[in-house]
């Protein structure tokens, strides 16, 4: 750990105790990939976030977090220093006074503070941060747990990617690796990673796509595991809205009509491209940056239908049908103008 943190401030354990009031519970501001996070104040008045490793945390998780020590980007959280004291392993970061994105995006009171302009800047900032992780960080780093809780907001609402406890370095930007220990959060995990433990930079691309849809809609992406779901209801609903040219129904009601329709449409279509089931069909984050940063660039492809979706069973404005490929199950989704939908599951008699 000391070698990895060379060049960063080494804090004395007594400084850490003073800053956190002896790790007082009232100073806890969250939980990271391998431990609790405390708000602290250094003698000069600087507010910091102090991450204290859980005594049961795997050393691999701590070392993964230390990959961050070598990262320097405006949209990646900045490591300030560290402390080792006996079994204590502590990292000190910039403190983000506006907390995590999920505190705003799912909160009906705080949500209006994120107007569309701020949400769009969060989306583009995250894009730039992930491009850096994937291509310019010397590591080809895959975060593996991108979600609103791991996006921190500074005083200007600029997003900072945080919590690298699950991150892994690849041998190249097109490499695939396997793991028997799948981490991450349901609703954000790419299908190939959730089911087979396969991860690559395209794993983060999928998670980014979900993040964008959540930022636009204020909704969560629920995976219906018992129904063979792989991408989530938010992805499927958005795909219907995009196909039927009614993406305005996706927009968070808290935004009212104060948003750029063209930006919403472009962001939603890019998100659907990112959230496709087959990683080979997903764009790279460099492609995503190009598509979001230039209105003159036409989007190169249409997002494929989410798995199990079939057309033509009824009026497509009101009803869509999903049929399981490996079972005799038909799922019917009745979609109204509201962002929620009603599902009916019909199980047919097995074929003789």
Residue 51 is assigned to a ligand binding site: yes
> How much of the chain is in helix, strand and coil states, percent to nearest 5?
35, 20, 45
Can you spell out the DSSP letters for 226-288? GGT-SS-HHHHHHHHHHHTT-GGGGS-GGGTT-S-HHHHHHHHHHHHHHT-SSGGGSPPHHHH
| Phi, psi (rounded to 5 degrees) for 106 | -105, 5
Q: In the annotation, is 145 catalytic?
A: yes
- The CA dihedral of 65, 152, 290, 185, to the nearest 10 degrees, is 60
Q: d(Cα 276, Cα 307) in Å, to the nearest integer?
A: 9
User: String of b and e for 138-168 (b: at least 16 CB within 10 Å)?
Assistant: ebbbbbbbbbbbbbbbeeebbbbbbbbbbbb
Beta strands in 134-221 (DSSP E): 141-142, 151-153, 159-161, 168-169, 177-178, 198-199
Catalytic residue among 18, 145, 233, 287: 145
Residue list, annotated binding site: 51
Residues classed as catalytic: 145
Residue list, annotated binding site for ATP: 51
């Amino acid at each position: 750990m000391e070698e990895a943190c060379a060049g960063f401030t080494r804090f004395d354990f007594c400084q850490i105790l003073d800053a956190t009031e002896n790790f007082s519970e009232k100073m806890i501001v969250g939980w990271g990939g391998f431990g609790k996070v405390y708000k602290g104040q250094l003698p000069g008045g600087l507010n910091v976030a102090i991450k204290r490793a859980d005594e049961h945390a795997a050393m691999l998780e701590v070392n993964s977090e230390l990959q961050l020590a070598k990262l320097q980007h405006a949209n990646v959280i900045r490591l300030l220093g560290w402390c080792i004291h006996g079994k204590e392993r502590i990292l000190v970061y910039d403190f983000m006074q506006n907390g995590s994105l999920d505190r705003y995006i799912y909160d009906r009171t705080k949500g209006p503070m994120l107007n569309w302009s701020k949400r769009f800047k969060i989306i583009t900032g995250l894009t730039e941060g992930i491009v850096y992780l994937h291509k310019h960080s010397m590591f080809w780093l895959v975060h593996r747990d991108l979600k609103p809780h791991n996006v921190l907001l500074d005083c200007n609402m600029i997003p900072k990617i945080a919590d690298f406890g699950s991150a892994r370095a690849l041998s190249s930007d097109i490499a695939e690796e396997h793991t028997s220990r799948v981490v991450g959060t349901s609703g954000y995990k790419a299908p190939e990673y959730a089911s087979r433990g396969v991860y690559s930079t395209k794993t983060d691309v999928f998670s980014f796509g979900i993040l964008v849809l959540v930022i636009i809609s204020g909704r969560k992406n629920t995976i219906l595991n018992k129904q063979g779901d792989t991408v989530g209801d938010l992805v499927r609903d958005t795909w219907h809205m995009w196909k039927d040219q009614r993406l305005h129904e996706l927009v968070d009601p808290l935004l009212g009509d104060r948003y750029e329709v063209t930006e919403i449409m472009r962001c939603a279509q890019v998100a659907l491209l990112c959230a496709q089931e087959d990683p080979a069909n997903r764009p790279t984050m460099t492609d995503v940056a190009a598509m979001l940063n230039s209105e003159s660039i036409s989007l190169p492809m249409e997002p494929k239908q989410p798995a199990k979706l079939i057309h033509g069973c009824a009026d497509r404005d009101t009803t869509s049908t999903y049929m399981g490929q490996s079972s005799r199950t038909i799922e019917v989704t009745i979609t109204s103008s509201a962002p929620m939908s009603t599902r009916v599951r019909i199980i047919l008699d097995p074929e003789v």
